[in-house]
A and B are shown apart, each in its own frame.
Chain A
Amino acid sequence: MTTFEYELPNPQTEDVKTVFGQQDLIRRSASTIEPPARQLTPMAKLIDVSKCIGCKACQAACLEWNDKRAPVGENVGTYTIPPDLSPQMFTLMRFTEWINPETDNLEWLIRKDGCMHCADPGCLKACPAPGAIVQYSNGIVDFDHERCIGCGYCVAGCPFNIPRISKTDHRAYKCTLCSDRMAIGQGPACAKSCPTHAIVFGTKAEMTEHAETRIKDLKSRGYQNAGLYDPPGVGGTHVMYVLQHADKPEIYADLPNNPVISPVVNLWKGAAKYAGLAAMAGMVAFGVLHRFVEGPNRVTPKDEEEAKQLTEDPRS
């Protein structure tokens, strides 16, 4: 008799050599790169909504690992707190109270929202800043904040409405799939913290296989439309859901039924992008001119005060 439906080894605690890095990039925003010499095994996080108890351990672990703090806000009449993703909060449990029209029973649908790590990432395609968004051959789509120009195009390019722009440093933030943990052979912090194994992590093939056993179990419990959410419109994702009602993902706090990259982004990928880049180059030229004509910008105490107010991190 097996003990676990899916054996997850304990995470390693000793440092291991970096298992992937720059040499494994398959895409780099606003750049062309050489195809990598090797193909890493595609990895995936599987979120089983039917096992999720909405405890928010994943949110707490995410804040802890990324050393972020969300402000102590207000309760506006929901368990979804903070009320939205933010530059601090990369993942969010979205709670939906849904009456199943077939049974007239209430179902409390709790979906852990966050970056889906699309195989065909709209954010990366929309990004005009060279190297600000990268994609590794294991499936991770990561942001390089040093290169981010804060234009917000990634937000418009994302079919899942995930990235958020910081009002403090004007850079885009989202879940990294804990690329820094993965780089040393560990799984994402959220998966490690999940008490019910609603979040599991492994190769995409393993996760897909595991999802099948879960779907079978759900069907035995009367969820005839249970299924895997791995939407083909974005080439599949490296964060997948098991849904009790996979035929209507929209009931899970507006999870898109058939997400695709906006046609505007695809247009941007074409000729318009170069026009845009030219405009941006113009901005850089203006900045240089400004420096020579007006002198460097000085930070006044008033600027400091305003910056402080904008800083949402209560510890700073």
Chain B
Amino acid sequence: MTNSWTDIKNTDLAIIMGGNAAEAHPCGFKWVTEAKANRGARLIVVDPRYTRSAAVADYYAPIRQGTDIAFLLGLINWLMANNKVQWEYVKSFTNAPYLVQEGFGYQDGLFTGYDEVKRDYDRSTWNYELGPDGYVISDETLEHPRCVWSLLKQHVAQYTPELVSRITGTPKDKFLKVCEMVGECSAPDKTMTSMYALGWTQHSKGSQNIRTMAMIQLILGNIGVRGGGMNALRGHSNIQGLTDMGLMSNLLPGYLTLPFETEPTFEKYMSTRGYKPLRPDQTSYWQNYKSFFVSFQKSMWGAAATAENDWSYDWLPKLDVAYDIIRAFNLMFEGKVNGYVCQGFNPLLAFPNRAKCTAALSKLKFLVTIDPLQTETSRFWENHGPHNDVDTASIQTEVFQLPSTCFAEDDGSLTNSGRWLQWHWAASTPPGEAQRDTWILGQLFTRIRDLYRQEGGAFPDPIVNLNWSYEDPDYPTADELAKEINGSALEDLTDPADATKVTLAKGKQVPSFAALRDDGKTACGCWIYSGCFTEAGNQMARRDNADPDDTGIYSKWTWSWPVNRRILYNRASADVKGDPWDRTRKLLWWEGSKWTGFDVPDIAPTAKPGVVGPFIMNEEGTGRLFVRGMMRDGPFPVHYEPFEAPIANLIAPKIRGNPASRVFKYDWEQFGDVAEFPYVATSYRLTEHFHYWTKHAQINASLQPEFFVEIGEELAKEKNIPNGSWVRVWSKRGSVEAVALVTKRIRPMLCDGKVQHVIGMPLHWGFIGETKKGYGPNSLTPVVGDANSETPEFKAWLVNVEPITGPTPVA
């Protein structure tokens, strides 16, 4: 989230698209309720199904899953054509005026530089035109044909309301009504909040789904303001923490990146991470990358990381390719992985194409699962009749199940969607043999280190030199880890102007990442979390819910990254001169000599208005309507159909799916076509359950006991499927049996003149737990990920359906 849950109460219009907040985030959804009650805010829901969110919405519009970009580009087109633009914001705070270099182009769904064989782009033309001073050339009139605004206008022109309706199935009048409601928020004193979740991420163009709405929010002037923002509703209580801490195969903590093998030296690595400003006087905060990186290396390897050995740069793995989950399972499937440590994850239900997943796990020599609950993954080898019909005798994988603890049995912090690090205390002792994850990993590490110390091995240095200075090496505590993440001074830090003046004594916790150094005098485990556990104590444990002026900021409640800032880009809440756009919703303002307000300024406190742009992390200082080479699939979003789509892509009929998505050969062969699978399916969660956990809880199980699929009345009639009867649903990759819930909430849509039926499939059932045994949508879904994040396409695929007399009996 750019903003926070509590800030949603400040909005005038909430748009839930690509998510179902009332269903999947009922506690957070209360802030929408507050906005409606306090401000008379309106709620729009755009979804293939009439959801629980739609049940309390002011306006609902249906959309065929996987066509959000067409809808949103059509919305941009409408905003531009109807002058619903926050002009001062767009001209001053976005890159709309900047010129794009000659040679950049777009045609028939593809940008310049596409390589069909590699399914990848040479992105060198996706760049600005730079002047002799190295700064990007800007046309404040927005009239130059190669300025970003002109190119965007040209790019979206084809997405007319008529074409949008043909692609998305959204009736034209409903699309236009949404345009009008959204367009009102271009007024400087009106804000819209975008609330989205996996309904946008779990597509082969998930990142661009989100980006398109981010562009709309820039055009409306809704980023950095109260009641605005791009608000990702995270699916686990700490999934934000997972990404922040770099638990992706290509990341280090704090969104630093692992080197590629093309970057064999530290010098080479840093050569592309200079982040020189692209406009005069801009902050370009990533210029401090080296301080963050060196402090991270010091945190990892302590005294062993020195200037002489380039801060142990050689000890970091160098990627040849990104080892995302899809690739990892493909390697496993090909028999190229021996062992898998699976911590807090249930891939047998959470990874697409379950048959492939089972085959992959069956090829392992060993599997270690670390989980507080029995997972299907840890029992993938066990035959459960039709629900897990494996030949146990043929599976040689040795499985070690390590029971761990639930959140209520451990101290620590959970980072919520709004970037709040909320400390919690153990309320209960772990049951049975369960151990905390830190104990399990501590024990594993010290044993592995001992083996390396005794036996050497191929490359012992990163292991034997790892900084592991916990009081009990076998059991690091949450406090110790949090302090390490915050960072500390390894030597006395002195004032740059006066070397005799000590600003932070050796051994003290750093107050924030501003104190981090690139000379090895500081250590910090995750720079964006720096400030969470300082000399003033554990900031995450703060529980003062004072909220002066009812802003929804709650700056003394826990701690938010970065530097306790609650709304990112908050300098943009004021106009160029520094006056708030909306005096009734003030956030930050210029007070003659400095920025002040309710939040921590997202700009140098004395940076004069009109000079430094509000988007300080960007080299431009502005928000990007056009992005240079950072997205793999294009500097502007383009409508691409899902890989399994019921109609051809109307703007580029020859392109299947996202042309920049990586697809493995086996998985491509597993794609189905509309002739065989005429219905579009989508997966989702239900309020009664939390993922695959609460099927273990009796009350949750009693409130939603059995796997079902949702089918519209029209299709049910056509197929002779009575409500509550049994059906079989199958795709190219698998088949499931389910109770049919026949509903008015899913209605067929008219897509390119063809009636399109949608089948909905919730995902909370497996073969272990208190609920009735069932299947998950992943038995059917295709293996293909978003071109940028590799998040699997769970939200749009093709199936067929037929009535059956009942479930296959369990032998």
Task: Report chain B residues within 8 Å CB of A55.
Answer: 22-23, 26, 52, 687-688
Residue of B nearest to A99 (CB): B744
CA A105 to CA B772, docked complex, whole Å: 35
Partner of B705, one of A63, A72, A99, A198: A72
B706 contacts A75, C-beta separation under 8 Å? yes
Residue of B nearest to A70 (CB): B702
For B29, B55, B549, B704, the residue with the greatest tally of chain A CB atoms inside 10 Å of its CB is: B55
B40 contacts A106, C-beta separation under 8 Å? no
Query: From residue B582, how far is it (CB to closest CB) to chain A in Å?
Result: 13
CB of A115 closer than 8 Å to a CB of B? no
Query: From residue A271, how far is it (CB to closest CB) to chain B in Å?
Result: 45
Known: A53-B26, A55-B687, A56-B687. A3 touches B56 (CB 8 A): no
B26 contacts A75, C-beta separation under 8 Å? no
Known: A81-B703, A97-B744. A197 touches B58 (CB 8 A): no
CB of A11 closer than 8 Å to a CB of B? no
CA A53 to CA B20, docked complex, whole Å: 11
A220 contacts B702, C-beta separation under 8 Å? no
One of B77-85, B339-347, B560-568, B735-743 at the interface: B735-743
Residue of A nearest to B741 (CB): A77
CA A105 to CA B50, docked complex, whole Å: 11
One of B30-38, B183-191, B491-499, B793-801 at the interface: B30-38
Known: A72-B698, A108-B50, A108-B745. A56 touches B703 (CB 8 A): yes
Residue of B nearest to A3 (CB): B550
Partner of A75, one of B9, B687, B739, B770: B739
Query: From residue B57, how far is it (CB to closest CB) to chain A in Å?
Result: 10
Task: Report chain B residues within 8 Å CB of A195.
Answer: 26-27, 29-30
A196 contacts B26, C-beta separation under 8 Å? yes
A74 contacts B739, C-beta separation under 8 Å? yes
CB of A227 closer than 8 Å to a CB of B? no
B23 contacts A106, C-beta separation under 8 Å? no
CA A79 to CA B22, docked complex, whole Å: 15
CB of B222 closer than 8 Å to a CB of A? no
Known: A3-B38, A107-B55, A195-B26. A74 touches B50 (CB 8 A): no
Partner of A69, one of B547, B699, B707: B699
CB of B158 closer than 8 Å to a CB of A? no
B58 contacts A221, C-beta separation under 8 Å? yes
Residue of A nearest to B707 (CB): A75
Task: Report chain A residues within 8 Å CB of B745.
Answer: 97, 106, 108
Task: Report chain A residues within 8 Å CB of B52.
Answer: 53-55, 108
Residue of B nearest to A73 (CB): B705
B702 contacts A75, C-beta separation under 8 Å? no
Query: From residue B734, how far is it (CB to closest CB) to chain A in Å?
Result: 21
A53 contacts B705, C-beta separation under 8 Å? no
CA A56 to CA B701, docked complex, whole Å: 12
Residue of A nearest to B702 (CB): A70
Among A254-305, those with CB < 8 Å from B are: none
Known: A60-B703, A106-B744, A196-B30. A217 touches B40 (CB 8 A): yes
Q: How many residues on B have C-beta within 8 angstroms of the other chain's C-beta atoms?
A: 52
Task: Report chain A residues within 8 Å CB of B56.
Answer: 50-53, 196
Known: A75-B739, A110-B55. A60 touches B706 (CB 8 A): no
For B34, B40, B703, the residue with the greatest tally of chain A CB atoms inside 10 Å of its CB is: B703
CB of A184 closer than 8 Å to a CB of B? no
Task: Report chain A residues within 8 Å CB of B706.
Answer: 73-75
Task: Report chain A residues within 8 Å CB of B54.
Answer: 108
Task: Report chain A residues within 8 Å CB of B549.
Answer: 1
CA A195 to CA B27, docked complex, whole Å: 5
Task: Report chain B residues within 8 Å CB of A54.
Answer: 52, 55, 687
Encode A158-184 as 1/0 by CB contact (under 8 A) with B.
000000000000000000000000000
CA A74 to CA B707, docked complex, whole Å: 9
Partner of B698, one of A69, A97, A107, A198: A69
A72 contacts B770, C-beta separation under 8 Å? yes
Residue of B nearest to A109 (CB): B55
CB of B280 closer than 8 Å to a CB of A? no
CB of B700 closer than 8 Å to a CB of A? yes
A97 contacts B743, C-beta separation under 8 Å? yes
CB of A76 closer than 8 Å to a CB of B? yes
Residue of B nearest to A213 (CB): B37
Task: Report chain A residues within 8 Å CB of B550.
Answer: 1-3
CA A315 to CA B27, docked complex, whole Å: 29
Known: A1-B550, A220-B40. A73 touches B702 (CB 8 A): yes
CB of B771 closer than 8 Å to a CB of A? yes
Residue of B nearest to A53 (CB): B22
B702 contacts A53, C-beta separation under 8 Å? no
CA A8 to CA B712, docked complex, whole Å: 41
How many chain A residues sit at the interface, stated as a range, is: 35 or more
CB of B53 closer than 8 Å to a CB of A? yes
CB of B788 closer than 8 Å to a CB of A? no
Task: Report chain A residues within 8 Å CB of B55.
Answer: 52-54, 107-108, 110
Encode A77-116 as 1/0 by CB contact (under 8 A) with B.
1110110000000000000010100000111101000000
Partner of A74, one of B29, B38, B772: B772
Residue of B nearest to A1 (CB): B550
CB of B431 closer than 8 Å to a CB of A? no
Among A208-225, those with CB < 8 Å from B are: 217, 220-221
CA A63 to CA B701, docked complex, whole Å: 12
CA A72 to CA B705, docked complex, whole Å: 6
Residue of A nearest to B59 (CB): A105
Encode A40-64 as 1/0 by CB contact (under 8 A) with B.
0000000000111111110110011
Among B1-35, those with CB < 8 Å from A are: 9, 22-23, 26-27, 29-30, 33-34
Task: Report chain B residues within 8 Å CB of A60.
Answer: 699-700, 703
CA A52 to CA B700, docked complex, whole Å: 19
CB of B534 closer than 8 Å to a CB of A? no
CB of A232 closer than 8 Å to a CB of B? no
CB of A5 closer than 8 Å to a CB of B? yes
CB of B60 closer than 8 Å to a CB of A? yes
CB of A71 closer than 8 Å to a CB of B? yes
CA A305 to CA B36, docked complex, whole Å: 54
CB of B243 closer than 8 Å to a CB of A? no
CA A263 to CA B654, docked complex, whole Å: 73
CB of B679 closer than 8 Å to a CB of A? no
Residue of B nearest to A50 (CB): B56
Residue of B nearest to A63 (CB): B699
Query: From residue A212, how far is it (CB to closest CB) to chain B in Å?
Result: 13
A77 contacts B724, C-beta separation under 8 Å? yes
Among B702-718, those with CB < 8 Å from A are: 702-708
CB of B723 closer than 8 Å to a CB of A? yes
Residue of B nearest to A51 (CB): B33
CB of A314 closer than 8 Å to a CB of B? yes
Encode A137-167 as 1/0 by CB contact (under 8 A) with B.
0000000000000000000000000000000
CA A232 to CA B108, docked complex, whole Å: 67
Among B375-402, those with CB < 8 Å from A are: none
B34 contacts A4, C-beta separation under 8 Å? yes
CA A196 to CA B740, docked complex, whole Å: 30
CA A76 to CA B744, docked complex, whole Å: 16
Encode A233-255 as 1/0 by CB contact (under 8 A) with B.
00000000000000000000000
Task: Report chain B residues within 8 Å CB of A197.
Answer: 30, 33
A53 contacts B53, C-beta separation under 8 Å? yes
Task: Report chain B residues within 8 Å CB of A75.
Answer: 704-708, 724, 739, 741
**6 nearest interchain CB pairs?**
A77-B724, A77-B723, A53-B22, A108-B55, A75-B706, A5-B37
Known contacts A3-B550, A72-B701, A74-B739; can you find 20 more A-B pairs with CB under 8 A?
A: A1-B38, A4-B37, A51-B33, A55-B688, A69-B698, A70-B702, A72-B705, A73-B702, A74-B772, A75-B705, A75-B708, A77-B724, A77-B725, A77-B739, A78-B724, A82-B702, A195-B27, A196-B29, A196-B33, A197-B30
Q: Give 23 CB contacts A-B under 8 Å.
A: A2-B550, A3-B34, A3-B547, A53-B22, A53-B52, A54-B52, A55-B23, A55-B52, A72-B702, A72-B772, A73-B702, A77-B741, A78-B723, A78-B724, A81-B688, A106-B60, A108-B50, A108-B52, A195-B26, A195-B29, A196-B30, A196-B33, A217-B40
